[in-house]
Every structure is written in structure tokens, then in C-alpha cells.
């Protein structure tokens, strides 16, 4: 019997009452605790109702977004950091580090603690990559705090976060590396991408082979308000370097690509024997809700290029990586997840009957 694992990426749109309450005040207002808790419980219940064998908490408690949850509110930061432009015309900004030392303000295992109280199925936990947070360090440097000191602190904080999630029973820890494709857009020479790969490997190399089998890396073209930040970048400029990362699992956005066989051929060429690739089979920024049959056909297409024993399915990206995004509803998100789960099962049945 053939089985094909299927996992989500992470975020689910927050309930509107929570979004509105945060907009009226502070995301960390203790008065919002009941709303956060209700959002997590409802998300997990609906996730499990899709039949998904692996779930997340939908990132309901991540303050503002998937990128800066760990550093939001740090006193040694300013709001005028690295700017991320999206194709819809808007931008998002990272905080800028103003002084050392660098420390996380919160770690993702705190979200896992809450999710595990309610979940009846394995829970994966997404964390932000060191390379993304490295963009907080200003180009002009910080007096009395070198970039080398910053990198040492950053990698230690990242390692600690992953180890705490693994120790608490996370099914997988997923490192969000959406800035990979953006790095190619910013610097077509590839130097920035290579520096990101080296930095992330500096952290990943601290884990054993057994631990890395539970660690994955997610890449996409960005997702916010039905738009991307780097959708025009050729995957051929990213994927060869991506598979140099010392991780056991790769979650690669594919459903939204115009030429999926082109991307699959690149994956086949560079995927290593000890790696599994979860290909995106539903697109969160496409309003069309895929049918299970459409998903089945995308999985069968992927199986023509990737050994089934190394194949998995996922969503192209999170459904609401930035918490104030209301372009996709919770109902649509869970309908797409249901289609992913059912379509993956249909493909496994077809492949098993060959």
C-alpha cells in the first residue's frame, strides 16, 4: 500500500473578531487572551475535521506575522528596517536592530504548548529562519556589537527554539525560508542567496541526522494580500542552492507555478536521497478552491518526476502569514486543505493500483 504524507505550511486566517480587536489596541493586550485561546481551539478543531494527518495552530498567536513574532516589541529595535515590496503595491517592514545583544523575545515552543493542549493529531511548528532575521542588522553596523557577535547570538537563539520545539513533541519543525527567492531578486548574482544558505546551514549543522529528519525548510514566492514578493524569480536560480541545506524535508510552492514540469525536473535533478520534498498542490492566493481530483492530478504529475518514497504534498504557503490579511476566509482555507488531503489520498490509491 502506497502512502503519501501531507502536511500544512502553517498560518490560517484569524477570526475577524480577533483581527478587529488587535487593530483597536495592542496584540499583546491580556484582555485578548480569551479571543486567542478561542481562535486556537477553533482552528485545531477545524483542521482535524479536514482529515489532515498533521496540523498546526494556524499561527493564531504569532504577533503580527510569521517573520517577526520572535522579536516583535524588543526595546533595542526601531520600526524602519528592511522593506519587503509585494506585487499588489504594498510593503511590509522588518524591525531594525539598534543595539546588542540580540535575543528572542518569545520562542515558538510557547505556541506549541497551547496547541498540544487541544490537538488530537501530530502538530508541526513553524519557526523563522536565521537568514530572515539577519536582515535586522543594519548595513552600517552597530557600535560595540559586531555582525559576528550578532550572528553568534542569532544562531544560538534559533537552535534553542528548534530544540525546545522538538523536545516538546513537535511532529516537525519547519524553518520558513521565504526570503530565499527574494534574495535572488535583490541580488541576481546569487551572493546574497549563498550567504543565506551558509548562515542557515551554520544552524542546521548543530543538529544530528536523526534530528534533521524532523526539520524541514519551506520556500515560496511570498504570500500577502493575494500577491507575492518574488513570483517572477526563476526557480532554477534558487532550487540548486536550496537542496544544499542540511534538512530532511523541503516544502516547495508549486501549485501556483505556470510550468510545474519545469520546476519538477529541477527538483528531480537536485533532490538528495535522504531528503523528502513536499510539493504545493493548492494555492492559498488563488480564490479558486481546488477539487480533490485536481489535487490528485497534480500529485500524479509530481510522481512522474519524484520517487514516491521521497514525495509529499503541502499547501504552497500559509494562508495568512501576515495576521491582518483578510483576502482569504477561514472557510476557503479549510476547503483547500480538505481538497489537499482527499486529493493526496486519491493519488496514493491510483499509484498503489499501478
In this prediction, residue 225 carries a pLDDT of 59
Is it the case that residue 224 has pLDDT exceeding 60?
Answer: no
The helices-and-strands tally (H runs, E runs) of the chain is 12, 10
Using omega within 30 degrees of 0 as the cis cutoff, is the peptide bond preceding 101 cis? yes
Confidence band, pLDDT 50/70/90 cuts, at residue 19: confident
Is it the case that residue 328 has pLDDT exceeding 90?
Answer: no
Length of the chain: 354
Cα-only R_g, the chain: 19
In this prediction, residue 294 carries a pLDDT of 98
In this prediction, residue 67 carries a pLDDT of 80
Is it the case that residue 122 has pLDDT exceeding 70?
Answer: yes
Task: Please give the Cα distance from 154 to 104 (Å, whole number).
Answer: 8
Confidence band, pLDDT 50/70/90 cuts, at residue 22: confident
Task: Please give the Cα distance from 44 to 51 (Å, whole number).
Answer: 11
Is it the case that residue 231 has pLDDT exceeding 70?
Answer: no
CB atoms within 10 A of CB 140: 6
Confidence band, pLDDT 50/70/90 cuts, at residue 4: very high
Q: In whole angstroms, how far apart are CA 212 and each of 176, 177, 205, 220?
A: 15, 16, 9, 21
Is it the case that residue 30 has pLDDT exceeding 80?
Answer: yes
Confidence band, pLDDT 50/70/90 cuts, at residue 20: confident
SS3 of residue 234 by DSSP: coil
Is it the case that residue 29 has pLDDT exceeding 90?
Answer: no
Confidence band, pLDDT 50/70/90 cuts, at residue 28: confident
CB atoms within 10 A of CB 211: 15
In this prediction, residue 88 carries a pLDDT of 65
Phi-psi region of 101 (alpha: psi -120 to 50; beta: other; left: phi over 0): beta
* DSSP label of 152: H
Number of domains in the chain: 1
Task: Please give the Cα distance from 6 to 166 (Å, whole number).
Answer: 19
Once rounded to an integer, what is the mean pLDDT over residues 112-117? 96
Give the alpha-carbon dihedral of 71, 145, 150, 167, to 10 degrees: -70
SS3 of residue 325 by DSSP: coil
Supply the mean pLDDT for the chain. 92
Domain with 295 in it = 16-352
**Which one has a higher pLDDT value, 183 or 304?**
304
SS3 of residue 311 by DSSP: strand
Confidence band, pLDDT 50/70/90 cuts, at residue 1: confident
- 3: in domain: no
In this prediction, residue 181 carries a pLDDT of 84
Confidence band, pLDDT 50/70/90 cuts, at residue 329: very high
Whether the model pTM is above 0.85:
yes
- 6: in domain: no
Return the percentage of the chain with pLDDT > 70, whole number: 94
Once rounded to an integer, what is the mean pLDDT over residues 254-280? 96
Counting Cα atoms < 13 Å in the Cβ hemisphere of 227 gives 12
Once rounded to an integer, what is the mean pLDDT over residues 31-59? 95
- 1: in domain: no
Task: Please give the Cα distance from 194 to 190 (Å, whole number).
Answer: 6
- 11: in domain: no
Is it the case that residue 222 has pLDDT exceeding 70?
Answer: no
- 10: in domain: no
- 134: in domain: yes
Q: Return the CATH number at 122.
A: 3.20.20.210
Is it the case that residue 125 has pLDDT exceeding 90?
Answer: yes
Task: Please give the Cα distance from 280 to 114 (Å, whole number).
Answer: 27
Is it the case that residue 17 has pLDDT exceeding 60?
Answer: yes
Is it the case that residue 226 has pLDDT exceeding 70?
Answer: no
Once rounded to an integer, what is the mean pLDDT over residues 60-73? 85
Phi-psi region of 270 (alpha: psi -120 to 50; beta: other; left: phi over 0): alpha
Pure H helices in the chain: 16-24, 33-49, 109-118, 130-134, 147-167, 179-186, 191-204, 209-212, 239-242, 260-270, 292-303, 330-352
Exposed/middle/buried for residue 48 (C-beta within 10 Å: 0-12, 13-18, 19+): middle
Please write the tens of the pLDDT for every residue from 152-181. 999 999 999 999 999 999 999 999 998 888
| Pairs from 117-122 (Cβ < 8 Å, separation ≥ 24) | 118/40, 118/41, 118/44, 118/45, 119/44, 119/48, 119/55, 120/48, 121/47, 121/48, 121/52, 121/53, 121/54, 121/55, 122/53, 122/54, 122/55, 122/171
Is it the case that residue 59 has pLDDT exceeding 90?
Answer: yes
Q: In whole angstroms, how far apart are CA 50 and each of 9, 54, 170?
A: 15, 10, 20
In this prediction, residue 353 carries a pLDDT of 65
Once rounded to an integer, what is the mean pLDDT over residues 193-214? 97
- 343: in domain: yes
Lowest mean pLDDT among 25-34, 44-53, 219-228, 261-270: 219-228
- 7: in domain: no
Amino acid at each position: 500500500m502506497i502512502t503519501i504524507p501531507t502536511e500544512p505550511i502553517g498560518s490560517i486566517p484569524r477570526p475577524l473578531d480577533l483581527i478587529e480587536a488587535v487593530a483597536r489596541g495592542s496584540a499583546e493586550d491580556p484582555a485578548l487572551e480569551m479571543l486567542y485561546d478561542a481562535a486556537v481551539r477553533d482552528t485545531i478543531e477545524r483542521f482535524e475535521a479536514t482529515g489532515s494527518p498533521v496540523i498546526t495552530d494556524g499561527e493564531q498567536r504569532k504577533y503580527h506575522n510569521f517573520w517577526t513574532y520572535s522579536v516583535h516589541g524588543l526595546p533595542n529595535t526601531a520600526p524602519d528596517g528592511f522593506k519587503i515590496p509585494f506585487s499588489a503595491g504594498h510593503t511590509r517592514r522588518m524591525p531594525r536592530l539598534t543595539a546588542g545583544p540580540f535575543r528572542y523575545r518569545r520562542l515558538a515552543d510557547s505556541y506549541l504548548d497551547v496547541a498540544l493542549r487541544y490537538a488530537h493529531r501530530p502538530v508541526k511548528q513553524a519557526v523563522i529562519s536565521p537568514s530572515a532575521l539577519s536582515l535586522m542588522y543594519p548595513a552600517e553596523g552597530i557600535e560595540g556589537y559586531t555582525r559576528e557577535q550578532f550572528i553568534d547570538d542569532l544562531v544560538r537563539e534559533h537552535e534553542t527554539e528548534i530544540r525546545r520545539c522538538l523536545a516538546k513533541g513537535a511532529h516537525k519543525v519547519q524553518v520558513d525560508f521565504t526570503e530565499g527567492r527574494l534574495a535572488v531578486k535583490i541580488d541576481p548574482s546569487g551572493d546574497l542567496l549563498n550567504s543565506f544558505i551558509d548562515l542557515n546551514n551554520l544552524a542546521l549543522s548543530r543538529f544530528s541526522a536523526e534530528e534533521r529528519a524532523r526539520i524541514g525548510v519551506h520556500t515560496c514566492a511570498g504570500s500577502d494580500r493575494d500577491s507575492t514578493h518574488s513570483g517572477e524569480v526563476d526557480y532554477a536560480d534558487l532550487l540548486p542552492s536550496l537542496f544544499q541545506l542540511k534538512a530532511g524535508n523541503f516544502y516547495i510552492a508549486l501549485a501556483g507555478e505556470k510550468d510545474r514540469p519545469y520546476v519538477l525536473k529541477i527538483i528531480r535533478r537536485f533532490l538528495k536521497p535522504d531528503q523528502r520534498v513536499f510539493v504545493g498542490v493548492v494555492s492559498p492566493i488563488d480564490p479558486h478552491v481546488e477539487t480533490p481530483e485536481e489535487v490528485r492530478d497534480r500529485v500524479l504529475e509530481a510522481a512522474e518526476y519524484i520517487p514516491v518514497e521521497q514525495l509529499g504534498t503541502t499547501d504552497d504557503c500559509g494562508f495568512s502569514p501576515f495576521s491582518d490579511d483578510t483576502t482569504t476566509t477561514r472557510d476557503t482555507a479549510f476547503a483547500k486543505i480538505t481538497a489537499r488531503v482527499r486529493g493526496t489520498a486519491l493519488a496514493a490509491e491510483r499509484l498503489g493500483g499501478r
